[in-house]
Amino acid sequence: MGRTLAEKVWDDHVVRHADGEPDLLFIDLHLLHEVTSPQAFDGLRKSGRQVRRLDLTIATEDHNTPTLDIDKPIADPVSRAQLETLRKNCADFGVRLHPLGDVEQGVVHVVGPQLGLTQPGTTVVCGDSHTSTHGAFGALAFGIGTSQVEHVLATQTLPMARPRTMAITVDGELPDGVTAKDLILAIIAKIGTGGGQGYVLEYRGSAIEKLSMEARMTICNMSIEAGARAGMIAPDETTFEYIEGRPHAPQGEDWDAAVAYWKTLRSDEDAVFDAEVVIDADSLSPFVTWGTNPGQGAPLSAQVPDPASYEDASERYAAEKALEYMGLTAGQPLRDIKVDTVFVGSCTNGRIEDLRAAAAIVEGRKVADGVRMLVVPGSARVGLQAVDEGLDTVFKQAGAEWRHAGCSMCLGMNPDQLAPGERSASTSNRNFEGRQGKGGRTHLVSPQVAAATAVLGHLASPADLSDADARTPAGV
Amino acid sequence: MEAFTTHTGRAVPLRRSNVDTDQIIPAHWLKKVTRDGFEDGLFEAWRKDPEFVLNKPEYQGATVLVAGPDFGTGSSREHAVWALQNYGFKAVISSRFADIFRGNSLKNGLLTVVLEQDVVDRLWALVEADPTAEITVDLQERQVRAEGVTADFELDENSRWRLLNGLDDISITLQNEGDIATYEAGRPAFKPRTVQV
């Protein structure tokens, strides 16, 4: 019987298999950041252990880092202490670190791919649930807890139970103005926040094959919001082209050997998935969330749902609680929802393509009165590229704030937070209660919807913009 | 890791689904670099409401949390497990847990027990009617027992063995040092490296 992509990558990393035990998997790449690693390094110290494979380990600073005044000491002493702890740990153990201010610093899931470290057929882990992002390259990539971080540091392996596989087949073509973000939000709304539990999802089909690497990363990134262990997309020419020439891409004969291997990383025709979901790309439209988990979403053209319409008691109660928290009423058109803040950034939508898309919409327009728009590149490199392309100027002329790289308002561990009751349209991945700041209310959206929303002041898609919104001449 | 064999204690009914790890322990608590001291951050936002179940005097000192489906979704933060343990919980019961949270819990000796929702409903009814009612979570027998409720639960034999004995995963893995070294020797040259060593 044929094997799925996930099974092939899994099989190629089994160090030890014994019946009745989890497989011991080899880890090709371990990404570290300041939040989930301190207790792991402490554990190594207590046991007198070293980092087994420094050549497969890399660290950066992202969750706590400020996006303003990065040349000054970090104001929050607790954040500063956590970053200093990472710096000390990396120095003590010899781990490569890209700290704040370094040109390779950024959100860990943006940094790995841009360095060319994320490659097809590798196993990638990080103490961060959005590690699923790297699956866009046909890597098996999953988030782990701090105990597992310590385990990988010490052994470069992880004992893991073999996951089940689910095919998510998306055929057809995404209509104009419909993005990878809309697609993944629609998938999560369909299968639910627990729908992927225990599975590795493989996104496939003609609509997926047409997507850029950035778009594929957006999709795989949010696999965790459907509860999945990981999300994957089979590597193809788009993948190879993205990797070629990057600092850690294989070279010469290694490149040829790598590509030959990568081309084998497709689910076999006769492979059997444990579950399958089919989505018609042509039927999709811009999608936004209205509730407090990423599965509580609907097309932008729809209304806030009535909790009474849910048959399942627990879903009904969850919807009631969500509307109460979000300050929304059933039946209210989603387009009428006014926002205070627009956040463009994060490991979901903080790559160059996302910034270009948002910039193209705000160019020659103004952010609505009373709305704050924050644009935070996913990495310092993305920021530099955006500056090269003049995108920072476009954003600033529109009245948006152009910031330095980091996780920023996705989770508000740094000063970029919502105030209580404040409402955002955010290109990030989680609309949990208080995620972006205590009492903050989050609507998850694509970069395009974020930009249109910033201009109009209420949830909107680019199609809602008219020439009248272009209050200043385009093109500078 | 602390060994877990069997535990009997009073329980808190948490009638909410999709309890994400941001609710269990908000992000600003994640700046701490220790594994303890998270108890005051547990459900911090919800505990501001005096009516929240954890604030009710009759549930003080309870050690078993009975939660709705999809408990522990979202972030991989192991701090969520530490917060529950620091507060005093020994076991969490739900009809479905998020994968990473469950993995983290079992590595710390916090037993996460999966039961059918109708059993969870009965446990909720029991401990709401009588907050002094005790629930026994028996890992030896893989069974949950309370007045009028006896329910077997599944947990793979390997995880059970590690929990019962409080074993350290890293030490177990390092017993297979030879297998790891053999695997490493056979890795293709084209695989990426972060540094030359």
Q: What is the pLDDT of residues A375-411, one digit of tens each?
A: 999 999 999 999 999 999 999 999 999 999 999 999 9
Whether the per-residue pLDDT at A475 is higher than 60: the answer is no
Whether the per-residue pLDDT at B100 is higher than 60: the answer is yes
Q: What is the pLDDT of residues A221-238, one digit of tens each?
A: 999 999 999 999 999 999
As a whole number, mean pLDDT of residues A302-320 equals 94
Same domain flag for A224 and A352: no
As a whole number, mean pLDDT of residues A102-127 equals 98
Do A5 and A232 meet the contact criterion of CB atoms below 8 Å apart?
yes
Same domain flag for A158 and A293: no
Classify residue A10: in a domain, yes or no: yes
Q: Can you give the pLDDT at residue A163? A: 95
Q: Can you give the pLDDT at residue A312? A: 87
pLDDT-derived band at A469 (thresholds 50, 70, 90) equals low
A147 CB near a chain B CB, below 8 Å? yes
Structural domain span for residue A304: 289-469
Same domain flag for A213 and A334: no
Shortest CB distance from A157 goes to which of B74, B108, B173? Answer: B173
Q: Can you give the pLDDT at residue A313? A: 86
As a whole number, mean pLDDT of residues B191-195 equals 98
A248: which chain B residues are within 8 Å (Cβ-Cβ)?
192-194
pLDDT-derived band at A474 (thresholds 50, 70, 90) equals very low
Same domain flag for A220 and A340: no
A86 CB near a chain B CB, below 8 Å? no
Q: Which pTM does this prediction carry?
A: 0.97
Q: Can you give the pLDDT at residue A37? A: 98
As a whole number, mean pLDDT of residues A101-122 equals 98
Q: Which of B66, B49, B85, B30 is nearest to A325 (CA)?
A: B49
> Which architecture does CATH list for B6-185?
Alpha-Beta Barrel (3.20)
Question: Which residues have C-beta within 8 Å of that of residue B97, sequence separation ≥ 6?
Answer: B70, B71, B72, B105, B112, B114
CATH at residue A457 = 3.30.499.10
Q: Can you give the pLDDT at residue A473? A: 46
Whether the per-residue pLDDT at B101 is higher than 90: the answer is yes
As a whole number, mean pLDDT of residues B21-46 equals 97
Same domain flag for A272 and A312: no
Whether the per-residue pLDDT at A143 is higher than 50: the answer is yes
Same domain flag for A123 and A33: yes
For all residues of chain B together, what is the average pLDDT? 97
Classify residue A283: in a domain, yes or no: no
Classify residue A284: in a domain, yes or no: no
Same domain flag for A193 and A113: yes
B16: which chain A residues are within 8 Å (Cβ-Cβ)?
317-318, 321
Selected for mutation to probe chain B from A13, A15, A47 (highest B CB count within 10 Å) is A15
Other CB atoms within a 10 A radius of the CB of residue B21 amount to: 27
Q: What is the pLDDT of residues A22-76, one digit of tens each?
A: 999 999 999 999 999 999 999 999 999 999 999 999 999 999 999 999 999 999 9
ipTM > 0.85, yes or no: yes
Q: Can you give the pLDDT at residue A466? A: 83
Tokens of B148: 């009028």
Q: Report the share of chain B in percent with pLDDT over 70.
A: 100
Do the annotations mark residue A347 as ligand-binding?
yes
Phi, psi angles (nearest 5°) of residue B86: -60, -35
Q: What is the pLDDT of residues B104-156, one digit of tens each?
A: 999 999 999 999 999 999 999 999 999 999 999 999 999 999 999 999 999 99
Q: Can you give the pLDDT at residue A470? A: 59
Same domain flag for A258 and A370: no
Q: Can you give the pLDDT at residue A314? A: 85
B158: which chain A residues are within 8 Å (Cβ-Cβ)?
20-22
Classify residue A475: in a domain, yes or no: no
Chain A residues 227-256 within an 8 A CB cutoff of chain B: 227, 229, 248, 250, 254-255
DSSP state, residue B141: T
As a whole number, mean pLDDT of residues B66-74 equals 97
A259 CB near a chain B CB, below 8 Å? no
A93 CB near a chain B CB, below 8 Å? no
pLDDT-derived band at A116 (thresholds 50, 70, 90) equals very high
Same domain flag for A263 and A146: yes
As a whole number, mean pLDDT of residues A92-102 equals 98
Q: Can you give the pLDDT at residue B78? A: 98
A36 CB near a chain B CB, below 8 Å? yes
Q: What is the pLDDT of residues A256-278, one digit of tens each?
A: 999 999 999 999 999 999 999 99
Tally of domains in chain A: 2
Same domain flag for A173 and A208: yes
Number of A/B CB contacts below 8 angstroms equals 203
Classify residue A422: in a domain, yes or no: yes
Q: Report the share of chain B in percent with pLDDT over 90.
A: 97
Classify residue A63: in a domain, yes or no: yes
In DSSP terms, which residues pair with A124 in a beta bridge? A29, A141
Same domain flag for A22 and A60: yes
Domain boundaries, chain B: 6-185
Classify residue A98: in a domain, yes or no: yes
Same domain flag for A49 and A197: yes
Selected for mutation to probe chain A from B30, B76, B159 (highest A CB count within 10 Å) is B76
Q: Which residue of B has its CA nearest to A320?
A: B16
Whether the per-residue pLDDT at A179 is higher than 80: the answer is yes
A112: which chain B residues are within 8 Å (Cβ-Cβ)?
none
Classify residue A436: in a domain, yes or no: yes
Q: Report the share of chain A in percent with pLDDT over 90.
A: 96
